[in-house]
Structure 1
Amino acid sequence: MIRTVLGDIRPEELGVCDSHDHLFIRSPTLPGQELNDPEAALCELDAFAAAGGRAVVQWTPWGMGPRTEELPGLSRQSGVHIVAATGMHQAKHYAPDELERVRDGLADLFVHELTEAPVKAGLIKVAGAFHRLDGHARHVMAAAAEAHRATGAPIGVHLEGGTAALDVLDLLCAEHGVPPDRVILGHPHRFPDAAVHRQAAETGAFLAFDGPSRAHHAADPHLLPGLGALADAGHADQILLGADTVTAAARSGADGPGMPFLLTGLRPRIERELGPDLAAAILVANPARAFASRWRRAGRPVFEL
């Protein structure tokens, strides 16, 4: 089952999915650029739904303003399934005293938000540092692995600059025993090394590429070649795609492409250049498997949209 903010659903109910995005987020590294407007979030969801979108996975973790309590209403109003995240990002996104307060209880915090919170998460979000895993990342990933073992939840990984993918897999899978197919590596094309992408995919992990919701992102030209190279190497069933909208200016209601661009801009290009079967796999079949789990603790009853 896939754990949405309205309850658990069957994988085949998920539909066309934006596999990595944000409806709400805040960070001291982005002062004045917070996503904190429910009306703007609803407009973005409505535009995504009008383009054929059916589901959005919000990767905003604990402590970064996910406004999880707003998500059920937005899901009902838009008709879009929403998967929320727990977890923790890099240390720079938090006040030091805030990190210290929860440091020794991270696994319990994650499990609570996955299984007992009024609005439950369906994903654990963690993050590496640029080209390495610092002490904070290793501590958070150990807690995420413990929470995964308790619940079955998938783990999404922010790869800073697209780097350290193999180090993450060594830590989560080899050291902490998380099955590779429960790991989703985010932003791989920001470090466009086809050999590294292939090695990561060969473990069984999912790779979540993100579309250019941040207009003119330097990695944009590498997106479709990266998708094609992985598909050609036999890993078409492990590719995900998301818009990763992190500022108000990047939304479609402002000056950015936003969530709808996945379907109005990128999907036609993928269908034309790489084939309709790959587009369908990336947007429908693959996320239905990536975010589905055999949950080891019960979620809320299912509510119809």
Structure 2
Amino acid sequence: MRIRTVLNDLVPGALGVCDSHDHLFFRSAALPGQELDDEAAAIAEVRAFADAGGQAIVQWTPHGLNRRAAALPKISTRTGVAIVAATGLHRAEHYPEGYVDKVQDRLAELFVRELTVGIGDTPVRAGLIKVASGFHVLDAHAERVIRAAAEAHHATNAPIAVHHELGSAADAVLDLLVDRLDVHPAAVILGHLNRFPDHRLHRELAARGAWLAFDGPSRANHATDPRLTDCLAALIDAGYADRLLLGGDTTTARARAATGEGPGMPYLLTHLRPRISRHFGADVADAVFRTNPARAFATDWRQ
């Protein structure tokens, strides 16, 4: 089993303390003027995360949204922080008009190439596939991309990470990926569940064997920090501490800690990890930030 980073493949135990969902670079047609496209700022943010004890970051920026793949190895080398890059495709509104039409008929081929050969004209290989659901349902675009992700997963064994619009449609995604497309639930990471704080649903998703990611802390327009502890408590009390992941999901320059208003990547370790240790114990905090990511992002790569 290995975790594919932008420098090399790591044995899971070498990953260390991990931010399981974040962005160093990101550009969306739906978020004009909020681009993450400053390499120096990205390095400063990763260093701040490292200073707080961070050792690994999983960047969920997918194909076509300014991943800056060529810069990622340099950032990893200069900071000592392992970085996992993503292939995949986001919701259609994040792309310029006509872009999705150009790639939709070769998505699985594109994903496999970026996982096994390199992203664009770089030798940097992706370590996971990022896809997205629709709001409460799977629209035609979401289903097409998820089907391509399943095909690429079966060719490579790469994990599939899912953006859930406002945390919704996670059950529909598992119905498609697991029940109909034969993807093992342990290869599926369900993101943004903090934005849909339904404890019963979360327990049902965990019981099906998927990973549950709570990400994007301290956003006033999302049900994140005020309900995060209760969401985690419901899952931990039900015996699912071993299915939980946490990430910062920094998507705008303003949200960076090193060069913006924050809270940024370090917040996970300076604020959330101590809270989790106090409420649930150091063993749970270690599982969320170290043991679980080492399992969730590891695979026996076929290519």
Please indicate the TM-score interval, normalised by the length of the shorter structure: over 0.9
CA RMSD after TM alignment: 1.0
Which of 280, 285, 300 lines up with 2:291 in the alignment? 285
State the match for 1:145 in structure 2: 150
Q: Kindly state the Cα deviation for residue 100 of structure 1 after the two structures are TM-superposed.
A: 1.1
Q: Which one is further off, 124-133 or 94-103?
A: 94-103
SS for the counterpart of 1:96 is coil
Q: Kindly state the Cα deviation for residue 218 of structure 1 after the two structures are TM-superposed.
A: 3.4
Correspondence 1:35-184 to 2 at 5 A: 35-117=36-118, 118-184=123-189
Contact 2:192 2:216 in 1 (8 A): no
**1:32 pairs with 2:38:** no
**1:226 pairs with 2:227:** no
- The Cα offsets for residues 271-292 of structure 1, whole Å up to 9 and x where unpaired, read as 0112111100000000000000
CA distance in structure 1 between the aligned counterparts of 2:17 and 2:233, rounded to whole angstroms? 20
Contact 1:213 1:259 in 2 (8 A): no
Percent identical among aligned pairs is 61
Residues 213, 123 of structure 1: CA spacing in aligned structure 2 closer, same or farther, 3 A cutoff? farther
- The Cα offsets for residues 244-274 of structure 1, whole Å up to 9 and x where unpaired, read as 0000110002111100000001111110112
**2:61 is matched by which residue type in structure 1?**
T
Q: Kindly state the Cα deviation for residue 216 of structure 1 after the two structures are TM-superposed.
A: 6.4
When the two structures are aligned, how many residues end up with a matched partner? 297
CA distance in structure 2 between the aligned counterparts of 1:221 and 1:261, rounded to whole angstroms? 15
CA distance in structure 2 between the aligned counterparts of 1:97 and 1:210, rounded to whole angstroms? 30
State the match for 1:196 in structure 2: 201
State the match for 1:268 in structure 2: 274
Residue segments in structure 1 that go unaligned for 5+ positions in a row: 298-305
Q: Kindly state the Cα deviation for residue 211 of structure 1 after the two structures are TM-superposed.
A: 4.2
Q: What TM-score does the superposition give when structure 2 sets the normalisation length?
A: 0.96
Contact 2:57 2:83 in 1 (8 A): yes
Contact 1:213 1:243 in 2 (8 A): no
Q: Kindly state the Cα deviation for residue 213 of structure 1 after the two structures are TM-superposed.
A: 5.3
Residue segments in structure 2 that go unaligned for 5+ positions in a row: none
State the match for 2:11 in structure 1: 10
Q: Which one is further off, 249-258 or 213-222?
A: 213-222
CA distance in structure 2 between the aligned counterparts of 1:73 and 1:109, rounded to whole angstroms? 24
**1:97 is matched by which residue type in structure 2?**
G
Q: Kindly state the Cα deviation for residue 215 of structure 1 after the two structures are TM-superposed.
A: 5.6
Q: Kindly state the Cα deviation for residue 219 of structure 1 after the two structures are TM-superposed.
A: 2.5
